[in-house]
Structure 1
Amino acid sequence: MDERLIQRMRDAGVQIVRFRPVTWYTLDRVNNRTHRKLLIIDGRIGFTGGVGIADEWNGDARSPSEWRDNHYRMEGPAAAEFQAAFAEHWIEATGELLLGDRFFPKISSIGERSTQVVISSTHQRNVMHLMLMTALAAAQKSIRIATPYFVPDELTRRQLLEARQRGVDIQIIVPGSQTDARIVRKASRHLWGDLLQAGVKISEYQPTFFHCKLVIVDDIWTSVGSTNIDDRALRLNDEANINLFDREFARTQTALFDKDAAASKPYTFSDWQGRSTSQKMSDWISSLARSQI
């Protein structure tokens, strides 16, 4: 972010701090960044999903300059849990406690949807990985995954393959040629062989960069938030997701998923086998850095 913009906001009274700035004495934590995407208003309304604050999110995926993404608004106790997650980072960055009704007003339950807020942090590093593994292992009928960065570790791939052995239909949407990280696309593609051969359906979104983060299991369990399907998100970053055990919400998200799938190009096992020698080599070399990308 431009320092002049930061200063203008500070001059206007906005409190801005850098979270875990990199210094010589914090190099051991350089990998432990925050990737949470949280906006909380008056401690009552929360937003999360894949959206950041930049020009790429100003449009509606009408051209390559406008990314395709989902974001979600919530009220009730879930918003308070996101506020607590923000407060956790704020005290680490500033030493200031956010307390009282101003930040944590009394909130009653709204609606009847069963929700679970899942937060990963420095001291709970594998929470998101455990969440995903549990969901995949429980799948009986279908798994739908939408993610901009799909670089699954060995355990994730094993869970997907075992789900296929149970007869679970698995569909995955990832970015196509429109991407902000070509090395991730290459590293991801290197790992697709066994999945495609087992019948996992992988499609590449065509119109623009695909930045949605969504997992739907058995048309009833849905997870949305900041978490990608890669080592950095599942083991290193501080992330925030909300899980909903609700058929109606899963239905609406499946409709979005299906619309995105219609704008995506299927990638087959034959496509994977037919890569050129140079492309196979490039994909393999990229995959060597998969724990850091």
Structure 2
Amino acid sequence: MPGIMFAEVTVSTSFIVIAYLSILAMAVLIIVALFDPGLRYRVSASPSESNDSDDFLHMLEALVDAKVNQTTRLTVLTNGPTFYEAELEAIRGAERSVNLEAYIFQKGEIGQRFVTALTERSQAGVTVNVVLDGVGSAGVGKNFFSDLKKAGGNVVWYNGMKWNKLPHFNNRTHRELLVVDGRTAFIGGAGVADHWFKDKSKHPRWRDTMVKVEGDAVPHLQATFAENWLESCGEVLFGPDHFVRQECERQGDVLIVNSTPSGGGATRARMLFQVLLASATKTIHITTPYFLPDRSVIDELVRAARERNVEVVVLVPGKRSDHMLTRSSSRHAYGKLLKAGASIHEYEPSMIHAKILLIDSIWGVVGS
């Protein structure tokens, strides 16, 4: 019968103390993250200027630190078969550079078409840069882009899943952005995945919106891409292949709000939303896949409906929501809004993923 050996391991008291303190510190961080009440956004004074005035535009430009672009052409593209074809056409016509950033990039038919188009352009000598979120696009895998990389294309991951990234694990890029030759850009709610492109079994194609941007706003979208490109690979994007001065026939004033949380949690986009809601005198129309308004937004919407008789309409997903827990949680905000006279509608045909805010038929906000 073989002998049985026992080993006694002694752990120092210091080690145990450090281990318990580490566990306690992690528990505190988790509790703070889950129950942090967040910032309160309260507009100090009701906008005295009409939201279609030059003075209002000047104040907003300063507040969100975004230049007013006055020679920009915008084209609204509805649903995957439309905006994907427009994006692929732009990529195939690229002569100098293609920069793509996505939170979601998945394997599939449309993903393969994008990789094929990007690879062909890279083989033709066009600079191709791709930034994918380390969590949102984790499932696609690096091998999916092997042909693109062999052709000279660059694929990097934003805040990938590494041990030294743990303190900033929730710092994700949710931008869905494509810039071609520094002249044409696409921005909106859709990444690259088949559920935006076609029906699958009992799941209809998602409803979403992208906007094609041409003119003097494009360099500011390129600068937005450059921010996360730098953070992902350490390279500052610069030069005429990426930044081009151009103008289009004026359609209206355009602001590109590049929004990243500050150390205290404030964002320029959030300030923009609060001021626009406070400025509304006729209509507030919101389309969002994940309606989880904080107290500041709810209070502003209630004031708009009750005190200024503003028409407040919110469109959210119905039973086809991709996050049923979020849908259930969002319904807790309905009571105050409905009592104030707002109307809330659930979109039934499919999952609606568009993120759009319309104010008084004057201001429109679209993003990712």
- Whether the 8 Å CA contact 1:63–1:208 is kept in 2: the answer is no
Match of 1:58 in 2: 197
Secondary structure at 2:366's aligned position in 1?
strand
Q: 1:60 offset after TM fit, Å?
A: 8.3
Match of 2:176 in 1: 37
Structure 1 residue 175 corresponds to structure 2 residue 317: yes
Secondary structure at 2:305's aligned position in 1?
helix
2:209 alignment partner AA:
N
Q: 1:102 offset after TM fit, Å?
A: 0.8
Match of 1:158 in 2: 299
Distance in 1 (CA, whole Å) between partners of 2:201 and 2:144 is 28
Match of 2:215 in 1: 76
Larger Rg: 2
Q: Which is worse superposed, 1-10 or 132-141?
A: 1-10
Distance in 2 (CA, whole Å) between partners of 1:197 and 1:24 is 48
Structure 1 residue 142 corresponds to structure 2 residue 258: no
2:273 alignment partner AA:
L
**Normalising to structure 1: TM-score of the pair?**
0.73
Q: 1:100 offset after TM fit, Å?
A: 1.2
Q: Which is worse superposed, 59-68 or 26-35?
A: 59-68
Q: 1:4 offset after TM fit, Å?
A: 2.3
Q: 1:90 offset after TM fit, Å?
A: 0.8
Q: 1:197 offset after TM fit, Å?
A: 1.4
Query: Larger relative CO (CA 8 A, sep 6+): 1 or 2?
Result: 1
Distance in 2 (CA, whole Å) between partners of 1:206 and 1:140 is 29
Q: 1:101 offset after TM fit, Å?
A: 0.7
1:63–1:43 CA distance, 2 compared to 1 (3 A)? farther
Match of 2:146 in 1: 7
**Normalising to structure 2: TM-score of the pair?**
0.59
Q: Which structure 1 segments of 5+ residues have no match? A: 227-293
1:95 alignment partner AA:
G
Q: 1:126 offset after TM fit, Å?
A: 1.7
1:62–1:155 CA distance, 2 compared to 1 (3 A)? farther
Secondary structure at 2:273's aligned position in 1?
helix
Aligned pair partner of 1:23 in 162, 184, 190: 162
Distance in 2 (CA, whole Å) between partners of 1:73 and 1:114 is 15
- Whether the 8 Å CA contact 1:213–1:224 is kept in 2: the answer is yes
Distance in 2 (CA, whole Å) between partners of 1:32 and 1:66 is 29
Q: 1:35 offset after TM fit, Å?
A: 0.6
Structure 1 residue 92 corresponds to structure 2 residue 231: yes
Structure 1 residue 120 corresponds to structure 2 residue 262: no
Distance in 1 (CA, whole Å) between partners of 2:295 and 2:275 is 15
Q: 1:24 offset after TM fit, Å?
A: 2.2
1:12–1:122 CA distance, 2 compared to 1 (3 A)? farther
Q: Which structure 2 segments of 5+ residues have no match? A: 1-139
1:81–1:145 CA distance, 2 compared to 1 (3 A)? same
- Whether the 8 Å CA contact 1:60–1:68 is kept in 2: the answer is no
Q: Deviations over 1:222-258 (max 9, x none)?
A: 10111xxxxxxxxxxxxxxxxxxxxxxxxxxxxxxxx
Q: 1:199 offset after TM fit, Å?
A: 1.2
Q: 1:31 offset after TM fit, Å?
A: 1.6
Q: 1:112 offset after TM fit, Å?
A: 3.4
Q: 1:122 offset after TM fit, Å?
A: 4.5
Secondary structure at 1:18's aligned position in 2?
strand
1:134 alignment partner AA:
V
1:55–1:122 CA distance, 2 compared to 1 (3 A)? same
What does 1:156-235 align with in structure 2 at a 5 Å threshold?
156-165=297-306, 166-226=308-368
Match of 1:230 in 2: none
Structure 1 residue 67 corresponds to structure 2 residue 206: yes
Q: Which is worse superposed, 176-185 or 100-109?
A: 100-109
Distance in 2 (CA, whole Å) between partners of 1:121 and 1:50 is 17
1:127–1:5 CA distance, 2 compared to 1 (3 A)? same
Q: 1:49 offset after TM fit, Å?
A: 0.8
Q: 1:61 offset after TM fit, Å?
A: 11
Secondary structure at 1:98's aligned position in 2?
coil
2:239 alignment partner AA:
G
- Whether the 8 Å CA contact 1:143–1:215 is kept in 2: the answer is yes
Distance in 1 (CA, whole Å) between partners of 2:305 and 2:230 is 44
- Whether the 8 Å CA contact 1:43–1:103 is kept in 2: the answer is yes
Q: 1:3 offset after TM fit, Å?
A: 3.1
2:204 alignment partner AA:
S
Structure 1 residue 133 corresponds to structure 2 residue 274: yes
- Whether the 8 Å CA contact 2:204–2:349 is kept in 1: the answer is no
Distance in 2 (CA, whole Å) between partners of 1:172 and 1:61 is 27
Percent identity reads: 38
